[in-house]
A and B are shown apart, each in its own frame.
Chain A
Amino acid sequence: MSTANWKKIGRLESIPVRGSRRLCSSHFGRPIAVFRTSDDRVFALVDECPHKKGPLSEGIVAGDTVACPLHGMVIGLSDGVAVAPDEGAVETLPVSVVDGEIYLHLPEPGVSG
């Protein structure tokens, strides 16, 4: 993992508690949702529900899950996997918070996963 790919994306406070912000990355090519839980953990997921690409960044966050706003599928924030009985998974991206700054690890352009 090269440190060059860690991008600073903003301060923790810029994301509401139990909320999310979208991130446009022309570099990554797909929208990314950055979540903050009630205990200030931060997760980044591709902002496309595995069901019909609903914007997960607009869902209700509870614990470490988010409910997709379109048809209510619940997705685990840590692994991107849909909570049973639903099936499907969305890609997650590594994030870390250092001194209140959020860093996102972006893969090389064109590389996914």
Chain B
Amino acid sequence: MTMEKKSPLIRLVVVGNGMAAMRTVEELLQSDGSALYSITVFGAEPHPNYNRIMLSCVLAGDKSFDETIINTREWYTQNGITLIAGDPVVAIDREAKTVTSQSGRVVAYDKLLLATGSRPLAPSIPGLGLPGVCAFRDIADVEKMLAAARTKSRAVVIGGGLLGLEAAWGLKQRGMSVALVHLMPTLMERQLDVPAGQMLQKALDRRGISFFTSGQTERITGTDAVEGVQLGDGRFIPADLVVLAIGIRPNIDLAKAAGLQIGRGITVFDDMRTSDPAIFAVGECVEHRGQVFGLVAPLWDQAKVCASQLAGDASAVFASKALATSLKITGIDVFSAGALAAADPDDDEITLRDDARGIYKKVILRDGKLVGAVLYGDVTDGQWYLQLMRDKQDVSAWRERLVFGRAFAEAGADKPSGPDYAAMPDDTQICGCNGISKGTICKAIRQKNLTTLAEVRSHTKASASCGQCSSQVEGLLAYVTGAVKVAKKTICACTDSSHDEVRAAITERKLKTMDAVRSELGWKTPEGCQKCRPALNYYLLCAWPGEYGDDARSRFVNERVHANIQKNGTYSVIPRMWGGVTTAAELRAIADVADKYAIPTVKVTGGQRIDLLGVKKDDLPAVWRDLNSAGMVSGHAYAKGLRTVKTCVGSEWCRFGTQDSTGLGIKLEKLCWGSWTPHKVKLAVSGCPRNCAEATIKDVGIVCVEGGYDILIGGNGGIEVRVTDKLTRVASEEEVLEITGAFLQMYREQAHYLERTAPWVARVGLEAIRARVIDDHKERRALFDRFLFSQKFAQVDPWAERVAGSEAHEFAPLEEV
């Protein structure tokens, strides 16, 4: 009692400098109760308080460490808080009311707050202690992973839950090859049902992560450092880095030693007090009514309650709410809340699945109420479902529309889609991570005159954690401020004009130079930028063939020097191999070139030809000269232009072939080579519907059939696979050639620069193309003629030109000094 006399303030000691602890302190500071306290915070980590959630973004390179700091050291000082970072508390003496730290500091408390978080689970397998094995919990772990990613190449992540997947994705982004081992047959099985888990796996598989599901890790091998992971079924995965992410368990050691009541976590009651009324606990270290926690949303509620209690409000109680999970991997949208599947025969599961668009939605109903939702691909309605679950609202009236989302369910099909912010109740939760409602956000926007997402973020914390609700916060901002949300899409910041407007102005106002375009359309920069110059150069080239002189300085290096730059500054050279057919003489010449110029790698490409990789820039003209003299020309493997025409053997050899697909492929390649297009263009011809040339994912694919040819357009095998649309079936090769040329010319004249045929076809629609290229013969002929005309100027081998001396300065350095 003597101690209390010394200081009129209540001494609050906080153990743990993590997310829950500091949120509690922040809440306390905002209340009137804060004047009562002097606060000391112990943190085991040597950093100020940071946003643990963002470690995934730091790993993936989307954020820096500094951006994750929530409270700087100055903040602690300004608020009169003593921060002891890097010195964990090792004992609590409940009798004397003191804590002792590792370095021997003894600090007395009146109130103690435990927020020690959790520890990564470690399986009992051999090899855990090897260098190169780490968990994914704190900054130190991320630093280990980043160091490994800089010098090593193979990573294995054990655990296919949220953390494991984010670790795998981050390491992949950092350039490692990544394998993921998961004990269960599908990923995130506690948050996702089987179809959603499979769609997720497929999407990540496409992004290059290899999965070993149903994989039991037997041991981690290696002598001085990790060498690989041995699975129980005999599979072995080599590795330089192993990341364990199989789960967490509450960090209760300190509480246990102090004799507090514990279960899986530190037992807390509804007022966030432990079994000792002077000691509170919040965060992942606690167990409340049998439940432990692993996401931040409930911790914020705990922090509020705990702060209110500390400030003297005895009525504040914590009750856990339905929770939602999402995954922070760019471009992959996953949401799950509540039940994953019908638990008994009276439950209803309603599912919507659209594989083509990669969308899956499932809602689970019990007694007319929503009890679970699993969303993949489109998660806009996630928070709405969560709110319905929390409100236990009767949704039977919408039963059949519920799965289509809020706009549809509440309004029927004729209302505009997207959330109706006016109709949304104020307590609808927008930011799940921080528990911020619509009302709070709108109030802040109005009272503080906020105008940007960043401002709303810093004032309310909405969208400041995982960021998935950013678009909704922006929507609210627009709703409150009345600002127009969609800005016009311009080519770049140099201009207010869109791609279409620029293209139209070039032809209608006969603008023939870049300067003319820029001054006529009021460019804001005198010479444009890296984005608009290549686009203008292409548009002018397309509009004025033979008249406009190409501007090498507005071309990406590959198109300027007619070879592909590689990561080490060397180049690759791919000669054309018409229709994928070569000869012994060509192969011999390629072999000779490889020998003569000491070219390190010779590779068969995915486009049916041969790539010489690692050519020094200064050797390029000589390499080309040798290839030219063996009859080979540039394959334009670098061009926004025709790349390859893949073919299969067809009727000449194949027992199923219906037409000469190889011959037709060569004719198409001879017709189209050299053309400049908005983006690269690839063709293929298959001799029968077995489609060995993969024609159905090409910009133009021809599938030969008995008596004819199917012309398919708008396919893409790239980042987002798109299967072609069938344009028409014709009877002769001549028609194939003319329609292909006309289609490509329409694409050349209409598409935006860097827009491939797949998105262009999807944007303008198949019918618009059919109308001009198929139905209107005169129009088709006119397009084809324009194509042929521009080809007159385009079909010049750029290699031969340079062998003859053009652009010589490109291939020689300045004088040596």
Chain A residues near B (Cβ < 8 Å): 7, 9-10, 14-19, 21-28, 34, 38, 52-55, 58-63, 65, 67, 69-70, 72, 74, 104, 106
Contact = CB atoms under 8 A, between A and B. Distances in A.
Contact of A26 (B556, B809, B816): B816
A58 B565 contact: yes
B435 interface: no
A23 B809 CA distance: 12
B533 A10 contact: no
Contacts of B809: 14-16, 21
A48 to B, nearest CB: 9
B613 to A, nearest CB: 16
A63 B565 contact: no
Given A60-B533, A60-B534, A69 B565 contact: yes
Contacts of A52: 567
* Interface SS of chain A: loop
B569 interface: yes
B553 A24 contact: no
Contacts of A14: 809, 814
A62 B815 contact: no
Given A60-B553, A62-B533, A106-B817, 18 more contacts: A9-B815, A16-B552, A18-B527, A21-B814, A23-B815, A23-B816, A25-B817, A34-B814, A52-B567, A60-B533, A63-B526, A63-B527, A65-B529, A65-B530, A69-B557, A69-B565, A70-B565, A74-B530
A72 B754 CA distance: 15
A49 B552 CA distance: 22
A62 B813 contact: no
Contact of A67 (B530, B565, B817): B530
B814 A19 contact: no
Nearest to A60: B530
B553 A70 contact: no
Contacts of B565: 55, 58, 69-70
Q: Which of B527, B533, B569 has the most CB of A within 10 A?
A: B569
23 contacts: A10-B814, A10-B815, A14-B814, A15-B814, A17-B553, A21-B809, A21-B813, A27-B817, A28-B817, A38-B527, A52-B567, A55-B565, A55-B569, A58-B561, A60-B555, A61-B553, A62-B530, A62-B533, A65-B529, A65-B530, A67-B530, A70-B565, A70-B567
B527 A62 contact: yes
Contacts of A67: 530
Interface string B513-553: 00000000000011111100110000000000000000011
Contacts of B528: 62
Contacts of B813: 21-24
Q: Which of A15, A26, A28, A54 has the most CB of B within 10 A?
A: A54
Nearest to A72: B530
A62 B529 contact: yes
Contact of A59 (B526, B534, B557): B557
Contacts of B696: none
A9 B814 contact: yes
Nearest to B816: A24
A60 B554 contact: yes
A30 to B, nearest CB: 13
B571 to A, nearest CB: 10
Contacts of B530: 59-60, 62, 65, 67, 72, 74
* Interface SS of chain B: loop
Contacts of A65: 529-530
Contact of A69 (B525, B534, B556, B816): B556
Interface in B552-592: 552-558, 561, 565, 567, 569
Which are the 4 A-B pairs with shortest beta-carbon distances?
Answer: A67-B530, A58-B557, A69-B557, A18-B553
Contacts of B557: 58-60, 69
Contacts of A38: 526-527
A17 B551 CA distance: 11
Contacts of A74: 530
A33 B533 CA distance: 22
Contact of A9 (B526, B555, B556, B817): B817
Contacts of B529: 62-63, 65
A104 B527 CA distance: 27
Nearest to B565: A69
A106 to B, nearest CB: 7
Contacts of A69: 556-558, 565
Interface string B389-408: 00000000000000000000
Given A10-B814, A34-B814, A54 B569 contact: yes
Q: Which of A10, A34, A60 has the most CB of B within 10 A?
A: A60
A67 B525 CA distance: 16
Contacts of A106: 817
Contacts of B558: 69
A31 B527 CA distance: 28
A106 B817 CA distance: 9
A63 B525 contact: yes
Contacts of A54: 569
A74 B493 CA distance: 14
A93 B817 CA distance: 14
A98 B815 CA distance: 17
Nearest to B530: A67
A58 to B, nearest CB: 4
Contact of A16 (B526, B527, B533, B553): B553
A68 B13 CA distance: 52
Nearest to A67: B530
A16 B565 CA distance: 20
Nearest to B528: A62
Interface in B785-817: 809, 813-817
